[in-house]
Structure 1
Amino acid sequence: MNWGIIGAMDEEVAELKKEMNIEVTRQIAHVMFYKGTLTEEISYYANQVSER
């Protein structure tokens, strides 16, 4: 099962990214998506809106 997490602030996403084992980074439009794991069993996604 995959979970999606949306962070509104850079600080929120930064804390999550520090704990993640990021496997894939992808930019779609002005949004960055990070796919990785926090445990061996669950995958997480985080996104961060980039500056325009």
Structure 2
Amino acid sequence: MKKILWPWGFWIFVAFYVVTAPSDAANFVHSAFGWLGVIGDGVSDFVSDVAV
């Protein structure tokens, strides 16, 4: 039962959040991709420093 409930509950919450607060949801997605960019830059710098 938990295996069915968790994924459905998660996606229902996400849909509810997007419908009730679309600008907050968009800001969250924008921030998450910003964090991924920062992490990518850090990994790139690390690999460049190790390779030299």
User: Which TM-score bucket, shorter chain as reference?
Assistant: under 0.3
Greater share of helix residues, 1 or 2?
A: 2
Query: Which structure has the bigger radius of gyration?
Result: 2
More RCO (CA 8 Å, sep 6+): 1
Greater share of strand residues, 1 or 2?
A: 1
